[in-house]
Structure 1
């Protein structure tokens, strides 16, 4: 009976003050909105400034800190919140206490994000025409001045002794090597001196135009492919952030306890700033048009304040301990955790920390790892109060 009464009560009266809670909610809306706007605006506005350029060491370090914040948000805040909601004594024992639903929903959300990531990348690659083998062959064979080197296919010409050009005497095998195939192999190799910007192979003679031709295509394709990845990453990251921002804002908006709201204001402002910085960096690297970037930035900035506003509107009739509210909150928190963990590890941390630039700069490695752990630790510590 005591448990049933506690579940029917909207909130404990130990620290309930509706008037003060409402004032704190308006403070939270202003603070979180300002933090989000500043966080996402810094990389977007400063991308053409020398200090804040997206290829600068300062930006890479700040992005590593933000990635740590997002990772801790997923593991420490969202996943634990989803687990608490789905294991609440206010829910029926079957099935919620018989299976770890929070981890399951987080795992499925991560796998779904992987699928969306893959499909989105394939879509944009086709849309931008990156897969053009026919055009590449035509372009490679278009140089009339040196057709033998550029075509990639050496025509079979009979010599006077009856052998085909390129064939060893005795018919032991063909040695027809297409320059385009060699260039493709050459640009995909990663020797140790790649950090110096010179890619050489043992026993390979730099043969002028054909050698340079392979490099030009390799770098161009890599640049376009990287641009596609940034487009997909920025959109999926925004989806993950928005999905949990609504729940966070709603939870704060329905609370009537100043003791709960006060620490949330500081924690969510800190969290919103660095999430905005990470998202703004991805949008900046994706090189969206100004209008598209502004729409994405505004959508991110208003989501949590909008959730708080909705929470304020329904706070009089909303019971956070009801079965429907707990299941909805638990599932969405768990799924948000899976999305954020995937995005932090795969598209933010791995993409930067396994890059050629990071591997070639020891000081940048030390700085980025320190900031990554600092960001994750700072956001984790906030779980003590919020």
Structure 2
């Protein structure tokens, strides 16, 4: 039997007369969780980024490959198990108005998110392609390099004879490098957006959850694995020297997202009711939109570009392919298993 202090709650009345449970149990550990999760998330996210740049830390290539494919599986499992499933539950809750129960809004919002990202990327791709064609650059529409938005980079040779002087082409290529960097930064921002919303929400949930201890342990692993997945993608982004800070900044922003959610939850724990109608709608909508972002990113930007349209992977040995697939499935399986508790 747990001690009485661990079960202690306080019931107060708000101005509207509604009863709210104030969770003051394990308050010290709840506050400490802000810093513990911050450290774990930062370690998981920054390690791939910094290790790949380090000259003295000789990390074998297979470690980076493991992190990259493991991370792809983590991101895909996060989309389906940790975002889409909760969104379905939240937007079909019996406490919502009847209108919410007449249509699968969670799936519709996820679908809207997927097609919105697809259309934005399609327009950007067509615009970039037309610019490259004007200067005679031929490229592979599928891309052959790893990393987000690899399909937008030039691939092939240039024909300068029909398109002005070589200096004009060089200036245009320099501009295209800048545009490519901008496209990759936008890709990072899209991936970050989906992950950040989810991270803030689970931090808020952790701060006010009665089963704190179990959820706390699960979220430590959750944020570390998800951070490893995000960091492994950030580590392989190739940007001009003036933008090399972007992956580190993105990793730090992810690291503080869940601690921010916990801090907000602790601050409003006397008034916030996670089971309220408003909380269910807000969480459900944000989870559904985030799920669409990560589904598109995971299936198109990660799986398709890494396996189907990557010449290195297509021409690789059966052993390397099996290793990559096994690693990805391991990440997906472990993250899906965590969905049993969080």
Question: TM-score of the superposition, structure 2-length normalised?
Answer: 0.74
**For residue 311 of structure 2, what is the aligned residue in structure 1?**
356
Q: Please give the alpha-carbon distance, in whole angstroms, between the structure 2 residues aligned to 1:257 and 1:39.
A: 25
Q: What secondary structure, in the 3-state scheme, does the structure 2 residue paired with 1:317 have?
A: coil
**For residue 366 of structure 1, what is the aligned residue in structure 2?**
322
Q: Please give the alpha-carbon distance, in whole angstroms, between the structure 1 residues aligned to 2:132 and 2:68.
A: 34
2:333 to 354, 369, 377: 377
Unaligned runs of 5+ in 2: 1-17, 145-154, 160-169
Q: Please give the alpha-carbon distance, in whole angstroms, between the structure 2 residues aligned to 1:215 and 1:326.
A: 50
Q: Is the 8 A contact 1:9 1:319 kept in 2?
A: no
| Superposition deviation, residue 375 in structure 1 | 0.6
| Superposition deviation, residue 340 in structure 1 | 1.1
| Superposition deviation, residue 233 in structure 1 | 2.5
Deviations 1:89-123 (A, max 9, x none): 2212x112221111111111111122233345567
Q: Is 1:280 the counterpart of 2:234 in the alignment?
A: yes
Describe the shift of the 1:57–1:385 C-alpha distance in structure 2 as closer, same or farther (beyond 3 A).
same
Q: Is the 8 A contact 1:65 1:374 kept in 2?
A: yes
Q: Is 1:300 the counterpart of 2:254 in the alignment?
A: yes
**For residue 145 of structure 1, what is the aligned residue in structure 2?**
none
**For residue 131 of structure 2, what is the aligned residue in structure 1?**
131
Q: Please give the alpha-carbon distance, in whole angstroms, between the structure 1 residues aligned to 2:221 and 2:48.
A: 22
Unaligned runs of 5+ in 1: 1-7, 138-183, 195-213
Q: Is 1:18 the counterpart of 2:24 in the alignment?
A: yes
Q: Is the 8 A contact 2:75 2:226 kept in 1?
A: no
Q: Is 1:30 the counterpart of 2:47 in the alignment?
A: no
Describe the shift of the 1:64–1:305 C-alpha distance in structure 2 as closer, same or farther (beyond 3 A).
same
Q: What secondary structure, in the 3-state scheme, does the structure 2 residue paired with 1:365 have?
A: helix
Q: Please give the alpha-carbon distance, in whole angstroms, between the structure 2 residues aligned to 1:320 and 1:290.
A: 40
243-252 vs 368-377, which deviates more? 243-252
Describe the shift of the 1:73–1:100 C-alpha distance in structure 2 as closer, same or farther (beyond 3 A).
same
1:96 to 88, 97, 100: 100
**For residue 79 of structure 1, what is the aligned residue in structure 2?**
84
Q: How many residues align?
A: 294
Q: Is the 8 A contact 1:32 1:269 kept in 2?
A: yes
Q: Is the 8 A contact 1:68 1:374 kept in 2?
A: yes
Describe the shift of the 1:82–1:188 C-alpha distance in structure 2 as closer, same or farther (beyond 3 A).
closer
Q: Is the 8 A contact 1:319 1:325 kept in 2?
A: yes
RMSD: 3.4
| Superposition deviation, residue 272 in structure 1 | 3.6
Q: Is the 8 A contact 2:48 2:228 kept in 1?
A: no
Q: Please give the alpha-carbon distance, in whole angstroms, between the structure 2 residues aligned to 1:238 and 1:259.
A: 27
Describe the shift of the 1:252–1:356 C-alpha distance in structure 2 as closer, same or farther (beyond 3 A).
same
Alignment of 1:177-216 (within 5 A): 216=157
Q: Please give the alpha-carbon distance, in whole angstroms, between the structure 2 residues aligned to 1:228 and 1:366.
A: 34
**For residue 44 of structure 1, what is the aligned residue in structure 2?**
49
2:207 to 253, 271, 274: 253
Describe the shift of the 1:264–1:277 C-alpha distance in structure 2 as closer, same or farther (beyond 3 A).
same
| Superposition deviation, residue 62 in structure 1 | 1.6
Q: Please give the alpha-carbon distance, in whole angstroms, between the structure 1 residues aligned to 2:273 and 2:72.
A: 34
| Superposition deviation, residue 57 in structure 1 | 4.4
**For residue 325 of structure 1, what is the aligned residue in structure 2?**
279
Q: Is the 8 A contact 1:66 1:278 kept in 2?
A: yes
